[in-house]
Amino acid sequence: MEASISIVNGLTVDVEDYFHAEALAGAVSRKEWDSLESRVERNTRRVLEVLDRHQVRATFFILGWVAHRYAGLVREIQTAGHELGCHSYWHRLVYRLTPAEFREDTLQAKKVIEDAAGEAVVGYRAPTFSVVRRSFWALDILAELGFQYDSSIFPVRHDRYGVPDYSRFPCRHEGQNGQSLTELPLSTFSLMGTNFPFGGGGYLRILPLGYTHFGFRRVNREGMPVVVYFHPWELDPDQPRPNLGLRSRFRHYTNLDKMESRVDELLRTYAFAPLAKLPAHTRCKTGSSTSSPRAS
């Protein structure tokens, strides 16, 4: 399939181990993390091989816990030409933290990634897209800490995340503290007044690939980039499988054996770049931390 419009899309990888995923939070405690088999190095290197095969560069949002233990992996990602971003330290939902806890967690993660790489980190993604309306204060803190952009808001309805009336496209988010940063929301297409998610994670793994292509065509024809995301553990069908509830099992394990081929298909079909390299002319409009910015 040929891309219908030449748009540069944003490719992102959330670097975490399989046991960090929110679907496993009820089955694996944080105290157990150090005793579990870690697969994040091998899985991330597999991602690097896939991207190198297509000569594509991406933004890697790295969990601070991972960067602290595998500083060499951070440098491998950097040496391969990819952008480094912050994915928190402990992979906790932002809306369950106090502002002080969020600030401490973010500073800790930012420092450990920057110490490993020797360069500034300017992009952030919250675990499980947990910047929602009641945690918009987190964007104020990110701006204060020197982040230039965030990619944590999903303009959909979901049981764990989502701001359904937020801008579907890049926008400038004005905070209550007078500071601002660019928000690069996760991609949706609009149909009959409803936003439909696509292009990453479980949506890419579980739903038919034709659905993802439909979403790409819709968004690119609007002249906007698609923001794609996935995790290294999604390319690992042999990962350990703790006992999970039915919904969590479905979300976490469905089609792990198909994910690499689906990522390959997207990389063959569309143009991608790290988020910081997206064209500067993307559509923006000013919002506030108490209202949702919409694209003009």
170 touches 146 (CB < 8 A): no
pLDDT for res 6: 81
Can you tell me the distance from the alpha carbon of 83 to that of 26, in angstroms, rounded to the nearest whole number?
32
**208-231 pLDDT, tens digit each:** 999 999 999 999 999 999 999 999
Structural tokens at position 141: 């803190």
Indicate if the alpha-carbon torsion angle 263, 268, 270, 275 is positive or negative: positive
Say if residue 28's pLDDT is above 60.
Answer: yes
pLDDT for res 291: 45
Q: What b-and-e string marks burial along 102-127, b requiring 16 or more CB atoms within 10 Å of the CB?
A: bbebbebbbbbbbebbeeebbbbbbb
Average pLDDT on 155-178 reads 88
Structural tokens at position 79: 């040496």
Average pLDDT, the chain: 91
**114-140 pLDDT, tens digit each:** 999 999 999 999 999 999 999 999 999
CA angle 262, 266, 272 (to 5 degrees): 140
**CA 21 to each of CA 17, 33, 251: distance values in angstroms, whole numbers, following the listed order:** 7, 12, 10
Model confidence at 3, pLDDT cuts 50, 70, 90, reads very low
**CA 161 to each of CA 42, 73, 188, 233: distance values in angstroms, whole numbers, following the listed order:** 29, 29, 14, 21
Phi-psi category of 245—alpha, beta or left, where left has phi over 0 and alpha has psi -120 to 50?
beta
**Strand pairing of 8-15 and 271-273?**
parallel
Model confidence at 282, pLDDT cuts 50, 70, 90, reads low
Say if residue 281's pLDDT is above 80.
Answer: no
Structural domains of the chain ordered from first start: 8-287 (3.20.20.370)
pLDDT for res 283: 56
**CB-neighbour burial class of residue 216 (10 A; exposed 0-12, middle 13-18, buried 19+):** buried
Model confidence at 296, pLDDT cuts 50, 70, 90, reads very low
Scanning 177-232, the segments in alpha helix (DSSP H) are 201-206, 209-221
pLDDT for res 159: 80
Percentage of the chain surpassing pLDDT 90? 79
Lowest pLDDT segment from 94-103, 257-266, 286-295 = 286-295
Say if residue 161's pLDDT is above 90.
Answer: no
More confident residue, 239 or 245: 239
